[in-house]
Amino acid sequence: MRPSSPAPRTWFITGASRGLGRALAVAALERGDRVVAASRTATVDAFDPALRERVLALPLDVTDRDAVCAGVEAAVERLGGFDVVVNNAGTLSMGMVEEFTEGEARAQLEANFFGALWVTQAVLPHLRRQGSGHLLQVSSIAALAGFASTGLYSASKFALEGLSEAVASEAASFGVKVTIVQPGGYWTDLYSSMTSTTPLDAYGPLRAELERQWAEGSVDSDPRLAADAMLTLVDSDDPPLRLLLGSMVYDLAHDVSRRRADDWAAWEEVSRAAEHAVDAPAVAAG
């Protein structure tokens, strides 16, 4: 599955200044690859001096489509192309769905969905022309199911996964691979930098119960473990469409799938009764 000595690659990683993005950038650099480290606060100073000569720091706001297109073009002109593109940049906004303002809801989708869309659109022409490349879309455990207080975050990641499945089908004939990466919990600043809605009193008991559950059942790991898994992923000659990262998310994925299958089976008769082929309706004369 994994070549013994993969050739050096060129990576384009968004959100590369901190958290999972930085861990992945460092892991790639340490094995001799080149990295375009794209983020709002991009600087080579975020990396060890011994690694900086293979880093191209690219200040970039992924929600700005024009800036994304210009940044990708500049990086391609400088480095010639990309072997791996990682849509990692994102934010977390917590709150019950009813509590979100329009501005808060749009901001969550802008960062997590539209930002990844703009990068995907900007890099695909180059990956198509070179006939190769691997696009990694960093999703989340929150895309396995919607959870109380993460509804808009889940919505952004569900949207990203639907988009990515379509891209995988569209790009396959050009030799471009796509993998949706679904991480569980890692010790990054996603939580410390998250925003929250103004809470409604009605959800106080639910919010307290959620806090209790998180305190008792949260599992968070070193992001370097996720980075190492993604290195293994890109080294594979036959990468999967989806890769779960962590035992918690792995077990949850199977549990959610079983519960959905049980619901489908229980309502099979109703589902099948809702389909019966008929002739096309006649078009009324104008």
Least confident segment among 104-118, 129-143, 187-201: 187-201
Asked if 154 contacts 146 with a C-beta cutoff of 8 angstroms, the reply is yes
Asked if 129 contacts 144 with a C-beta cutoff of 8 angstroms, the reply is no
Residue 191 has what pLDDT?
63
CATH of domain 10-273: 3.40.50.720
Give the angle subtended at the CA of 261 by the CAs of 135 and 172, to the nearest 5°. Answer: 20
Torsions phi, psi of 139, nearest 5? -100, -135
225, two tokens:
């473990």
Beta carbons within 8 Å of 7's beta carbon, 6+ residues apart: none
Place of tokens 């809801």: 105
- pLDDT at residue 112 tops 70: yes
- pLDDT at residue 239 tops 50: yes
pLDDT tens-digit map of 145-185? 999 999 999 999 999 999 999 999 999 999 999 999 999 87
Beta strands (DSSP E) in 140-264 are 177-183, 185-186, 195-196, 220-221, 242-245
**CA–CA separation, 14 vs 21, rounded Å?**
7
Catalytic residue among 17, 140, 149, 153: 153
Q: Is 153 a catalytic residue?
A: yes
Catalytic residue among 156, 157, 164, 186: 157
Q: Is 186 a catalytic residue?
A: no
pLDDT tens-digit map of 20-52? 999 999 999 999 999 999 999 989 988 999 999
Q: Is 193 a catalytic residue?
A: no
Element (H, E) at 285: none
Catalytic residue among 139, 140, 154, 156: 139
Torsions phi, psi of 273, nearest 5? -70, -15
**CA–CA separation, 93 vs 101, rounded Å?**
11
